[in-house]
Amino acid sequence: MRAVEVPEAEADFDVVEKPVPEPDSDEVRVAVEACGVCHSDEMTKEGLYPRIEYPRVPGHEVVGRVDAVGDDVTEWEEGERVGVGWHGGHCFTCEACRRGDFINCEHAKVTGLDFDGGYAEYTVAPHEALAAVPDELDAADAAPLLCAGITTFNALRNSDARPGDLVAVQGVGGLGHLGIQYAHEAGFEVVALSRGTDKKERALELGADHYVDTEATAAAEELRALGGASVVLATAPSAPAIESVVGGLGADGEVIAVGIPGEPVGVHAGALVGVRGSVSGWASGTAKDSQDTLEFSALRDVTPEIETFDLGDAQDAYEKMLASEVRFRAVLEP
């Protein structure tokens, strides 16, 4: 099969021919139809993950069809449409797993880091890492929902915000353009926060009720004028951006960081104490959360805006993604 490997940390991608992998007894082989390119693929490429072994095939936004199942796998059959996201399996026996908190499994695997991911014609994943993909969703459209989609959808649905509450989405990019759609479809009053006015029209089309140009006005003031935010979903990986919205929280409001800035976030506790506010983080979810995301997306017609690339052009797709030249998610097709 054709696959794209990272040969060693900080090296460019290699397009290689390698044997089609065989699933172990508890694994499933997936014939890949599409794989999204995510900013977190940087962890594979740059060696930012302690346990990583090279060469490694990146890719944790995988959509395809079940191609072969291990002998002990009972819930998947050949031909079924499936997706594999960031959470690539768990041990079922550690303290967290015994509580059903699979995301916090001490031995949790990450797709494309602990095992080869979806930048390939085939991939093999643990059976518990698979989500069913609804027929209504095109493979290339479904792929980014396995990371950018689930992260924003799951963060919002696990927040305390209720229909009618003010929810701000900071950043109108790969995550933000999905977050706006989910927030709108979930019944929130939605504020899109972004620098400049380039993305204003698109944000309003996607379902934002308000648009705040954070270069022209102070985001916190605007949010307070709208009654204060129950949630600010911070998708831009920027500490100053996160700091700038804390003052816009309403009572019990929460800034949920889903983009990770390279530098620490400095927050004055006074801005939190006064409103019982908080700053928190959220990471993706389990395969069942992925499936919920995909089903909700099909039900409410939430789709990502994508640019597709041939698998062999992974390097180009990755560089364009890093340079924010892709609107809004890059997807590889084998």
Least distance (Å) between residue 95 CB and Zn ion: 8
Output the CA–CA distances (angstroms, integers) from residue 93 to 38, 104, 110, in the order listed: 30, 12, 17
Given 130, 142, 147, 169, the residue binding Zn ion (CB under 5 A): 147
Residue 331 found at the interface with Zn ion (CB under 5 A):
no
Contacts of 54 (CB under 8 A, 6+ apart): 6, 7, 8, 9
Confirm if 277 and 230 have CB atoms less than 8 A apart.
no
Indicate which single residue of 43, 52, 91, 283 sits in contact with Zn ion (rule: CB under 5 A). Answer: 91
Q: Pick from 196, 194, 221: which is nearest to 208 by CA?
A: 194
Interface with Zn ion, residue 40, by CB under 5 A: yes
Q: Which residues contact 205 (CB under 8 A, 6 or more apart)?
A: none
Q: How many residues bind Zn ion (CB under 5 A)?
A: 8
Residue 330 interacting with Zn ion (CB under 5 A): no
What kind and span of H or E run contains 270? Answer: helix 269-273
Q: In this chain, which of 32, 82, 105, 249 binds Zn ion, going by CB under 5 A?
A: 105
Answer positive or negative: Cα dihedral of 151, 157, 161, 164.
Answer: positive
> Which of residues 147 and 155 has its CB atom nearest to Zn ion in the complex?
147
Which C-beta is closer to Zn ion: that of 68 or that of 169? 169
Taking CB under 5 A as the criterion, the residue among 29, 56, 81, 90 binding Zn ion is 90
Regarding 150 and contact with Zn ion (CB under 5 A), the answer is: no
Q: How far is the CB of 60 from Zn ion (least distance, A)?
A: 5
Segment contacting Zn ion by CB under 5 A, of 44-52, 103-111, 132-140, 313-321 = 103-111
Whichever of 154 and 230 has its CB closer to Zn ion, that residue is 154
Binding flag, residue 235, Zn ion (CB under 5 A)? no
Kindly state whether residue 329 participates in binding Zn ion, applying the rule CB under 5 A: no
Q: Work out the burial of residue 266: count CB atoms within 10 Å of its CB; fewer than 13 is exposed, 13-18 middle, 19 or more buried.
A: exposed
Round to whole Å and give the CA distance between 156 and 182: 8
Name the residue nearer to Zn ion (CB basis): 259 or 277.
259
In the list 34, 68, 97, 169, the residue contacting Zn ion (rule: CB under 5 A) is: 97
Quick count: other Cβ atoms within 10 Å of Cβ 91?
Answer: 15
Residues lying near Zn ion in the complex (CB under 5 A) are found at 38, 40, 90-91, 94, 97, 105, 147
